[in-house]
Amino acid sequence: MKTRLKRIPLGIAFILLVLLLVACIETPSTPSALDPQGPGASRIASLTWLLVGLGGFTYLVVVGLLGLALWRKRHRPPDDDGVQRDWLRGRGQKLVIGGGVVFPTLILFIIYGVTLNTLSALNNQTQTDPLIIEVIGHQWWWEIHYPQHEFQTANEIHIPVGVPIQFQLTSADVVHSFWVPELHGKLDLLPERRNTLWLEATEAGEYWGLCAEFCGLQHARMLLVIVAEPEVQFNTWLEAQQQPAIEPANPLDEQGQAVFLTKGCDDCHVIRGVAAAGGDLGPDLTHFADRLTLGAGTAPNNRGHLAGWVVDPHGLKPGNLMPATPLTGEELEALLAYMESLR
């Protein structure tokens, strides 16, 4: 009875674990490494399942043998005097060498070989003249450069579908880690070093990524999105991003631009084409209105959240570098209108 009672918490823990795993698989909004959408992530997912399979098989063999030993002990014939036999001889010796040396060596060699093969395949790219995207990690956002096309953006990366892209990763401050689970494994962004990662999406779509290395207070709010598009659509985006910012089209937008230039926004942010806006501490805002989120995935990019972000950025994302900007209602309205015009 006592042992039965002891088993109940274990049983509950097991059921909770299964429910948790099922939840991981069935939530479509959470990016899962087990739902690969690119060749890199597919290889990693296959390796994961192989490791789970081999680990599960080994576990069952060990638990089976343990069960057999316990069963045999319990059902020992009464005439057995209980004297321990010498297990290091005869059948016992074979079992120890086979199960304790040969079997684990074989399993570990299979794992070692397949892992090395996967690692080398992930980096084995023969693509000549690839599209290069530089990603620079900051506390807590992503600076994105397209060096061949001479523009930069932030937190949102567009790529063409079905083409391997070369990502070059580095950091402006501490160690971060670039991870888009559905497309590839993690790779660190290190200060004063450049790591290369090849990434490809097989289907068009939005793929959410995150920082996978603890990097300070807002590590959890350091998200990014990769938008994979058909070639034509991607080229349109690329063309638009290279253009300087749109000119203010009405008096309200003009007033908003003046607010941007007089209230200190331009100390940290660039808007290409606006002469005085030249700081590089914060994200480039040239085509800000096209982006999906604010503060690297902290909030959706809409008027309400943008107003909150400008007036009280620490309310949304405590600890971030952007200072609160006190504005009158009129100034704020003009600034919001101008920011929303930056398509």
Instruction: Please provide the distance, in angstroms rounded to a whole number, between the alpha carbons at the two ends of the chain.
Output: 70
CB of 139 to ligand CUA, least distance (A): 7
Distance, CA of 305 to CA of 301 (rounded, Å): 7
Contact 335, 311 (CB under 8 A): no
Hey, is 154 helix, strand or coil? Answer: strand
User: What is the DSSP pairing of strand 132-138 with strand 165-171?
Assistant: parallel
CB of 194 to ligand CUA, least distance (A): 17
Q: Determine, following the binding rule CB under 6 A, whether residue 221 of this chain makes contact with ligand CUA.
A: no
- Lay out the site mask for ligand CUA across 153-192 (x = CB under 6 A, - = otherwise): -----------------------x----------------
At 80, the amino acid letter reads D
CB of 31 to ligand CUA, least distance (A): 16
Q: Which is nearer to ligand CUA, 222 or 277 (CB)?
A: 222
Q: Determine, following the binding rule CB under 6 A, whether residue 213 of this chain makes contact with ligand CUA.
A: yes
Q: Which is nearer to ligand CUA, 45 or 197 (CB)?
A: 197
CB of 186 to ligand CUA, least distance (A): 11
Q: Determine, following the binding rule CB under 6 A, whether residue 143 of this chain makes contact with ligand CUA.
A: no
Which backbone phi and psi does 228 adopt, to 5 degrees?
-95, 125
Dihedral sign (CA 21, 26, 27, 30): positive
CB of 143 to ligand CUA, least distance (A): 12
Q: Which is nearer to ligand CUA, 223 or 274 (CB)?
A: 223
Which backbone phi and psi does 170 adopt, to 5 degrees?
-150, 175
Distance, CA of 340 to CA of 287 (rounded, Å): 9
Residues that bind ligand CUA (CB under 6 A): 137, 140, 176, 211, 213-215, 219, 222
